[in-house]
Chain A
Amino acid sequence: MNPSVIPALVLLAALVPTAVQAKTIRIEVDGLVCAFCAQGIEKKMKAQPATDKVFVSLEKKVVAVSLKPGQDIADDKLKAEITDAGYVVKGIRRSDESLDDIRKHVKAQK
């Protein structure tokens, strides 16, 4: 290997994880109908070290978690936390949308 490309590869390796790192996690939840439900799940998600902010929509049955830079929460961990809160996870999706954008989209769809 040409030694001159090594710094470029190192730089690329450092950048790639950042480029694919999701900003938010959208979790679809069954049973999400009341403020108590939302408050309990919000409390669970805010307790995660990787969590920056949390948005809960009863309308869309969605819990959105924005992540701190470079951090993530494993799907198994998310499912365990929602189950421990007393609810059922129907789907998990990662997105590059910001939490504010998700909030705006949800409110615009009302």
Chain B
Amino acid sequence: MLLAPQAAWAKPIAFADGTTVMHERNTNMLETQAFYAPAYWWSLGPGFVRLTSDDKRTRRDIGYVQFNVLAKRWNLPAAQGNLFAFAGAGTVRSTQAGVPGARRDAVWRYGGQGDYETRSIYTSFKVDGYKAAAFSHRITTAQLGVAPYEHDYEDLATWFLLQARHYTGGLRERSPGVRRIEETLLLRLFKGPVWAELGVNRERHTQFMIMYNF
């Protein structure tokens, strides 16, 4: 019933001594994160995600602190591969239409990501989990992207991506007409420190994300 909390960004760590600020929203989700990376292999920061069910009757507000680590990197002459792991903890405030008051729980966040990219192909596989006393969700995301031209650092980079997500814990499969696996077509643009993504899924819900690195 709830749609996924998932920042469709490429890496949880941008670069050493770098700060990443991200905001993403669609009709069912709003998320903001800020991570600082003291070194290229780890980062830490706060985040907030609001999940709203399709029928707008259920809402979960999750505030958390997350730790990200780069477990392994492969630097190749014309490609790069990465393995990330992340974990976090926070609190969730859940409300339900027709039910007075709100429920508060502790929530754990965990996951991992692998990616491989060249200047013309991007692939990633990510598992993102949330666990609380009242719910447990695991969201698996795969992305395949192609660039219509090979950009350089000073150019505008353009990517077209196909994204597939699988949900557990009753996030989508109970909603009539909504597929359990969500497929989204994304346009990704970035230039310098700014990264933006715009997409639409098969239910014609839009998704927008913007990220700034400094």
Which A residues lie at the B interface, using CB under 8 A? 30-31, 33-44, 56-59, 61, 84-88, 90, 110
Contacting residues, chain A, for B119 (C-beta < 8 A) = 33-34, 58-59
Contacting residues, chain A, for B213 (C-beta < 8 A) = 36, 39
State how many angstroms separate the Cβ of A91 from the closest Cβ of chain B.
12
Q: How far is the CA of A77 from the CA of B153 in the complex (A)?
A: 24
List which B71-91 residues lie within 8 A (CB) of chain A: 73-80
List which B1-57 residues lie within 8 A (CB) of chain A: 10-11, 14-18, 39-41
Taking a contact as CB atoms under 8 Å apart, the answer to whether A87 and B75 are in contact is yes
With a 10 A CB-CB cut-off, give which of A35, A85, A110 has the most chain B CB atoms: A35
Q: How far is the CA of A47 from the CA of B79 in the complex (A)?
A: 26
Taking a contact as CB atoms under 8 Å apart, the answer to whether B16 and A86 are in contact is yes
Closest B residue to A47 by beta carbon equals: B17
Taking a contact as CB atoms under 8 Å apart, the answer to whether B14 and A86 are in contact is no
B182 close to chain A: CB less than 8 A: no
Which B residues lie at the A interface, using CB under 8 A? 10-11, 14-18, 39-41, 70, 73-80, 117-119, 150-153, 157, 190-193, 195, 213
A37/B15 contact (C-beta < 8 A), A57-B152, A84-B40, A86-B41 known: yes
Taking a contact as CB atoms under 8 Å apart, the answer to whether B150 and A59 are in contact is yes
CB within 8 A of B80: which of A37, A42, A56, A84? Answer: A37
Contacting residues, chain B, for A57 (C-beta < 8 A) = 152-153
Taking a contact as CB atoms under 8 Å apart, the answer to whether A56 and B73 are in contact is no
Taking a contact as CB atoms under 8 Å apart, the answer to whether A85 and B40 are in contact is yes
Q: How far is the CA of A85 from the CA of B73 in the complex (A)?
A: 12
State how many angstroms separate the Cβ of A95 from the closest Cβ of chain B.
20
Q: How far is the CA of A87 from the CA of B15 in the complex (A)?
A: 10
Contacting residues, chain A, for B151 (C-beta < 8 A) = 35, 58
Contacting residues, chain A, for B73 (C-beta < 8 A) = 31, 86
Q: How far is the CA of A59 from the CA of B77 in the complex (A)?
A: 11
Contacting residues, chain A, for B70 (C-beta < 8 A) = 86
Taking a contact as CB atoms under 8 Å apart, the answer to whether B157 and A35 are in contact is yes
Q: Closest 10 A-B residue pairs measured CB to CB?
A: A40-B15, A31-B75, A86-B40, A38-B153, A30-B75, A88-B75, A31-B80, A56-B153, A36-B14, A58-B152
Q: How far is the CA of A35 from the CA of B212 in the complex (A)?
A: 12
With a 10 A CB-CB cut-off, give which of B18, B40, B150, B191 has the most chain A CB atoms: B40
Q: How far is the CA of A72 from the CA of B94 in the complex (A)?
A: 59
Contacting residues, chain A, for B74 (C-beta < 8 A) = 31
State how many angstroms separate the Cβ of A55 from the closest Cβ of chain B.
9
State how many angstroms separate the Cβ of A61 from the closest Cβ of chain B.
7
Taking a contact as CB atoms under 8 Å apart, the answer to whether A84 and B75 are in contact is no
A31/B15 contact (C-beta < 8 A), A58-B119, A59-B152 known: no
Taking a contact as CB atoms under 8 Å apart, the answer to whether B118 and A33 are in contact is yes
Contacting residues, chain A, for B14 (C-beta < 8 A) = 36, 39-40
